[in-house]
Structure formats: C-alpha cells, structure tokens
Structure 1
C-alpha cells in the first residue's frame, strides 16, 4: 500500500492523485482523466513519484480504458529519464509485466487506437527511443549522422517517399537515395519482434515502414551504406541507470 502522503505529483502537490484515481475507477470521469494527465505527466518529459505510484491502478483499468492505456504508456515512456523514482519503478515490475499482456491482447483485436497501444507496448518493453519517435509512416523523419563521414542525413519514410537525403532548408530534401528495406526473413531482435507483431495484427503500413526503418540507407555525401535502425538506436537509445 503506497503512502500517498509522500507522493507528490507533477504539480508538487500530494493527495489529489488518489482522489482522481477513485473517480475514474468509479465513474470513468472525463474531467478526472484530463486532470490526471497533467498531474502524472508534465511537459518536457517530467514524471513524479505519484506517476509510478499510480501505475498499478492504471494497469488494472487498462483492459477497458483507452485513457488508462495511454497514460500508463506515457509514464513508462519516461521511465529512463532522471525522475529520481528508481525504487518506485522497480516496485512496478509486476504491473508492467501485466501491462504487456494487456496491450498484446488489445493489439490482437486490431483496435482503433492501435498505434498508441503499440507505442505503449514499446515503452513497456523498454524500447524508449522507438516509443518516442515511431509514427504511422505517413510522415516520419529520422535525422542521424552518417557513421562514415559524419554528415547530417535525414531518413524519410512516408507517403511522399522512402529515402535518405540531405536537408536544405530552402530547397527541401535534396540528393535523395532510395532506402533499401530489410527482407522480413532477415530481420532480427527488436526489428523482427516489431514486424512480426504488426504483421500478426494486419497492420500493413506499419509492417512496410518497419522493414524500411530496419533496412539500409545510402549517405548522399560519401555514398557509404549503413543500417538505419542501428545508427538511430546508437544515437538515441537512453542508457538505463
């Protein structure tokens, strides 16, 4: 049982979060959900002790509540940050494992909130960098540095094309090179798991986008070829303390 008297929220207040949780558990109150959102997750990726203390109760609501799934996912998406709540996070291990199961079952139903729930699952699996940036592959950009010449390269995966390019702020994306998508059977690790999950659930656009994301790109500057996901992960994956 958490001592809520010690659990400040993102507004540096105590006591309000448990009241709001009781309201959403009882009545699915829209105003209470809205207030919970800005008390448990603040701008600039900030969370608080109350955020992690509330997580098990949010997970219990998650099978029937899109708001609970979204808010729990947002909290977990910030778990790698400097929140000072490591002990509280460690105490949520059971709830996080349960949340993974809830999300996996939900995704199998091909829900309207598929992408949001998939991002929450990525956070629950500690794939924080992908949870933060993965889109629906209609307008996705992944900036990174070429590992060979250090040139700035933008990776585009969307309806307008799937390419690497140099970004010119006056002319747009120039010197485009088509991406080389990975073969489904050649994917390994996180890429394979992500691809198999969305294929299982009939998400064709996501599946195609993931193959490009975990495929290869050519640097417009030096013409060297590198793996997009490897370089993006190297540059952006947070180090767990």
Structure 2
C-alpha cells in the first residue's frame, strides 16, 4: 500500500485502486472492474497517476482477462496527453512491451474484442493517433486539411459511403468525391500491419476501411489528390516529449 501513497486516482484518493486490483485479481468482479475504469481514466481522455501505476498488474491479468486488456489499452491510448506522469510511464516500458506481445498473440485467436486488441498495440508503439481514431468503419469521420489549397476536408468511411466532402453546417457533407482505396501491395509500415492483421483475421469490413483510410482523396475545392493517412497523421500525431 505504501507505494500508492502519493498516486491519486481520478477521484483524488490513494487507497482504493490497490484494493480494487486485489479484488479483480482473485475474483472476476464486474463492479470492481467498472469502478477501476472510473478511477483510472477520465471521460475527457485524461489518465490519473494511479492509472500508470496500475499498468503492471493489469498486464499480468491481460492474458486471461478481457477487462484488463481493455482498461490497459484505454490507459495507453491516453499516454500522449498532458498527464504529468512521464516518470511513471517510463517505469512501465517493460510492462508495455509485454502487453504488446500479449495482444499480438490474442489477435491470432480472432477474438470478439478484435478492434480493441488492434488499437492497443498501436498505442504501445506510440502510434497514438491511430489507436485513438481507429473505429469499426460503420460511422467514421476524419477531418483533414487539403495540403494544396488549405481547405478543410471531411473524410467519411462508413456504411453510408466512403468519400471526401466539404462540410456545410446547413446542408451536411456536400461536393462529395469517392475515396480511392490503396492497393494492399502498396501499403507499408503501420498501415500494412493494420490491414494485414485485419484481413488475416477475416475482418473484411475493417480491412476495407483501413484500405480507404490509407488511400487517396480528391479535394472538392481544388480537385487535387492527396493521401488521407499522411494528412491525418500530420495533423494529429502528437509531438512526443
């Protein structure tokens, strides 16, 4: 308990989190898991100091607990924020690397929590912008800026369409242009890993969405063509301290 004496949770308490961790370690207590989530991660994407301190025990539970995987993933997705806990985060480097390996093994089983398990390794690799933004492509939007004329362009990838558009507050998405998905052979780096992992697991909708996200879009204003992922990364990848 002494190690937690100065590590407050989101409710600015210091003794409750270790008690809850002990409960979930010995019993799959759903109420305890729910309270842990409230205490470790705030709704406005901030994580408490106790959240980083909890990473190691959560990673120990991750191979057998979906709740531990989800909560550890949420904490990591917020690691790029202004949390003031850089020292605590650095101490978790070993646990983060272990967590990534746990998740990669878990993904091979085509789990029900596939999307969460795909996002968390991205956060472990400090690809925070993709970890936070990657959705199920049923109703996903990405706001970027045309690199040629500077106009704001909305990228939509969902069941209703896959297009670039200008957002009009009264008319909605106007001047729509179909996105041009990337050919899988042209993918490299993170995009290739995301696509291949989804495709190999039979996650067809997810793989198709990633192909569009890493494809090209036409600017409705100037008709120039640009890479969606490059512009989104440029605008959203955090500057690491």
Question: Normalised by the size of structure 1, how large is the TM-score?
Answer: 0.97
Superposition deviation, residue 2 in structure 1: 7.4
- Partner of 2:157, secondary structure, is strand
**Shift >6 Å, 4+ stretches:** none
Q: What is the total number of aligned residue pairs between the two structures? A: 241
Work out whether 1:217 is the aligned partner of 2:217: yes
Q: Distance in 1 between matches of 2:139 and 2:212?
A: 13
Once the two structures are superposed, the pairs formed by residues 1-241 of structure 1 within 5 Å of their partners are 3-241=3-241
Superposition deviation, residue 135 in structure 1: 0.8
Q: Distance in 1 between matches of 2:187 and 2:119?
A: 20
- Partner of 1:163, secondary structure, is strand
What do residues 152-192 of structure 1 show as CA deviations (whole Å, max 9, x unaligned)? 11001111111101112222211111111111000111111
Q: Is the 8 A contact 1:2 1:53 kept in 2?
A: no
Q: Distance in 2 between matches of 1:222 and 1:166?
A: 11
Question: Normalised by the size of structure 2, how large is the TM-score?
Answer: 0.97
- Partner of 1:6, secondary structure, is coil
What do residues 207-231 of structure 1 show as CA deviations (whole Å, max 9, x unaligned)? 1111110111000000011100000
- Partner of 2:79, secondary structure, is coil
- Partner of 1:240, secondary structure, is coil
Q: Distance in 2 between matches of 1:6 and 1:28?
A: 27
Task: Pick closer, same or farther for the CA change 1:157–1:223 going to 2, 3 Å.
Answer: same
Deviates more, 1:105-114 or 1:70-79: 105-114
Supply the RMSD in Å over aligned alpha carbons. Answer: 1.2
Superposition deviation, residue 64 in structure 1: 1.1
Q: Distance in 1 between matches of 2:40 and 2:202?
A: 33
Q: Distance in 2 between matches of 1:30 and 1:193?
A: 33
- Partner of 1:52, secondary structure, is helix
Q: Distance in 2 between matches of 1:41 and 1:59?
A: 16
Q: Is the 8 A contact 2:118 2:194 kept in 1?
A: no
Q: Distance in 1 between matches of 2:215 and 2:206?
A: 14
Superposition deviation, residue 28 in structure 1: 1.3
Which runs of no fewer than 5 residues in structure 2 stay unpaired? Answer: none
